[in-house]
Structure 1
Amino acid sequence: MKERFLPLNIALLLPDHPLLEEDFYLKVGDRFVLLRKKDIPLTPERINRWKEVGVKSIYLRAEARNAYLLHLYNQMEETLRSNAQQEEKAKLIYGVSEFVTERIIEDLSEEVVRLAKDFVGECLKHLREQPDLLHLVIRNMSHDFLNQVHSNNVFFLATGLALFLGMEKSEVEKVSLGALFHDLGKTKLDPQILKKPGRLDPYEWTEVKRHPLWGKELLKSQAKGLPEEVVRMALEHHESKDGTGYPLRLFGEEIHPYSMMVKICDVFEALCGIRPYREALPPFKALLFMKEGMIHKFDRELFKAFVTFLGPEYYNKLLKK
């Protein structure tokens, strides 16, 4: 069986950690090129040199990489309460979240649902206690068309919006879980459709519009124990206020407010993210596009709150009279 390699953000490397006694690789095109043999010491100086020459991620065996990320997850409480720099804490919480999101996409099960719930509870506790962490995470989010990266980013954006709105802890948890699971239905979509660089043909577009229904089915059958609102967010995050969305063409207040929150974050992240069919937009241009070309699809008050949450530089330019 061919060995599988997965990426690990270089910011998460701990010098001389025993779980990292592995060969490291760089991905060049479709090939993996050896960067470091496992018997060469993983020193802070070596890691810094890689950073200086622009290395963002290294690749290692999937089994070893996942074991290391699980270790970071188990140590997250201790690290976030330590005297580590906030920038390092933000990178840790983002990396662990991406690991949880990958698990959801690759191996949906009751165990993974428990992992997601535990992570959300732990994450929210620290984001409430250290609100600057959230903005550091959002500022440093990676953008890719990989499903787990998109869902991970939507998770932090939706969680931040819910916290900004002052929602109760139990309700913030629902929004956060809904954001983590919102695009689960895409796992049943042909990957070639997701990666297509041009316009989708009618059949492909029909398939894309089915993914919210698939997400609902997967959550109902394989992820029991999640709040009903989480299922609704998976089903409704492409519905529009004016009734032109999919898959049910819901109108106005027929759409759950949490679904609308995830929709706004989903659209923003998609516009800012790398896609095979267009270039990414800077945040301000993405928000301007949403305001001028899509405002009829959103709840206006929630959109205004989202812009305000992102920062005064956006609010003052887009909304302040």
Structure 2
Amino acid sequence: MQVLVIDDAQINVTLLCRLLDKLEHCSSLSFLEPERALEWCESHIPDLVLVDYMMPSMNGIEFIRRFRAFPRCKDIPILMITANDEVALRYEALEVGANDFLIKPVDRIEFLARTKNMLTLRSHQRMLEDRAEWLNAEVLKATEEIRAREQETILRLSKAADSRDPETGAHIVRMANYSRLIAEQLGCSLEEQQMLLEAAPMHDIGKVGIPDHILLKPGKLTPEEFSIMKSHALLGFQILDGSASSTLQMGAQIALSHHEKYDGSGYPQGLIGTQIPLVARIVAVADVFDALTSERPYKPAWPIEQALDLLREGREKHFDPECVDAFLARLTDVMTIREKYQEDKDDLKRFGSY
């Protein structure tokens, strides 16, 4: 354990350090100038501080006040050494954070006893700190495991919906990563980006409730069939709504609103502009682009430039113009994602940010 000794008199410093040498597992570091000691404390944490009261440039009370201002030094034991035994001085020292006192001339037995007590106190503090750090690490580990299980469950549920649709598992991975990319470009926080990455695959989960003869129909849907198909947005919301999970709550928003259009011509609510949740506006761009550029049993894949032209033409009509611009600004990254997550390489374990 390291003891910091601050005294402007070299003879006093030498005496105190020699006494500290008698203690096991204890080393000392001395300063004749309190300012230098404070500089050292900016990047180091002592286990005990011995500070003289009467020093020319800064007295012991002022040193303690500044020392206690360091966030990591608020609980470090401090012994103040003084030739002044006035009660008022002791009160002032206690108020700024001193833990105990030694009166000059220092008695060797008393010094060792008080120092041992302070180091024992510090030893217990360190044990508690180590325990708290270990518990925090365990909580973080458990939380990450829960998040990983939740993410896998979400992706498997999303793939269950897609398994009844001509779309593929690779599609939901790509569009989720496109969505995160748009969110990053728009300045969303890292937490929001990660949550969107995990929630976006649930956009079409309501398709589990659509009959096969409609969902898998190769030709154009009748108005009645299309009306039933559109109900998947509300079905998805009803499946996910009310969850305690923030990710599922975002998924519910996306499922309900990703078919809304910026000009109000979408479904199911006919929302306009920023009435549509931002995450749904983001997913709309990512989902349409990937659907257009992917081959399906009922259509060939569109050329990239043709799909991009559709996004440009759809600004302020189908799509939020800011989301389109964010997507276009990251085309190099979009192509990286598109290449990484191909249909024949789809793998649940590889789901995540590119």
> Deviation string for 1:207-238 (max 9, x for gaps)?
111111000011126x5423433321111000
Normalization by structure 2: what TM-score? 0.46
Query: Aligned partners of 1:178 and 1:99: how far apart in 2?
Result: 11
The Cα shift of 1:166 comes to: 3.5
The Cα shift of 1:187 comes to: 1.4
> For the structure 1 residues 234 and 153, does the alpha-carbon distance in structure 2 shift closer, same or farther, using more than 3 Å as the test?
same
> Deviation string for 1:261-315 (max 9, x for gaps)?
001101111111223332210221101122225651111121011111113999x
> For the structure 1 residues 207 and 157, does the alpha-carbon distance in structure 2 shift closer, same or farther, using more than 3 Å as the test?
same
Query: Is 1:226 aligned to residue 239 of structure 2?
Result: no
Normalization by structure 1: what TM-score? 0.51
Query: Is 1:106 aligned to residue 160 of structure 2?
Result: yes
Aligned pair partner of 1:148 in 142, 159, 169: 169
> For the structure 1 residues 286 and 237, does the alpha-carbon distance in structure 2 shift closer, same or farther, using more than 3 Å as the test?
same
> Deviation string for 1:31-50 (max 9, x for gaps)?
xxxxxxxxxxxxxxxxxxxx
Q: How many residues align?
A: 182
Aligned pair partner of 2:193 in 151, 154, 172: 172
> Deviation string for 1:169-225 (max 9, x for gaps)?
22112321221211111111123323222111122101111111000011126x542
> For the structure 1 residues 313 and 225, does the alpha-carbon distance in structure 2 shift closer, same or farther, using more than 3 Å as the test?
closer
Q: Counterparts of 1:250-289 in structure 2 under 5 Å?
A: 250-289=271-310
* Residue number in structure 2 paired with 1:207: 228
Question: What 5-or-longer segments of structure 2 have no aligned partner?
Answer: 1-143, 145-150, 336-354
* Residue number in structure 2 paired with 1:68: none
- Please say which structure displays the higher CA radius of gyration: 2
The residue type equivalent to 1:106 in the other structure is: A
2:317 is paired with a residue whose SS is helix
Query: Is 1:189 aligned to residue 243 of structure 2?
Result: no
1:311 is paired with a residue whose SS is helix
Check the 8 A contact 1:98/1:152 in 2, yes or no: no
* Residue number in structure 2 paired with 1:111: none
Query: Aligned partners of 1:149 and 1:185: how far apart in 2?
Result: 18
Query: Aligned partners of 1:291 and 1:98: how far apart in 2?
Result: 34
1:296 is paired with a residue whose SS is coil
> For the structure 1 residues 105 and 219, does the alpha-carbon distance in structure 2 shift closer, same or farther, using more than 3 Å as the test?
farther
Query: Aligned partners of 1:104 and 1:212: how far apart in 2?
Result: 14
Q: Counterparts of 1:1-321 in structure 2 under 5 Å?
A: 101-106=155-160, 145-220=166-241, 224-227=244-247, 228-292=249-313, 295-311=316-332
Check the 8 A contact 1:157/1:265 in 2, yes or no: yes
Query: Aligned partners of 1:179 and 1:276: how far apart in 2?
Result: 24
Query: Aligned partners of 1:253 and 1:166: how far apart in 2?
Result: 17
Query: Aligned partners of 2:220 and 2:334: how far apart in 1?
Result: 34
Alignment RMSD (CA, Å): 2.9
The residue type equivalent to 2:155 in the other structure is: T
Check the 8 A contact 1:199/1:277 in 2, yes or no: no
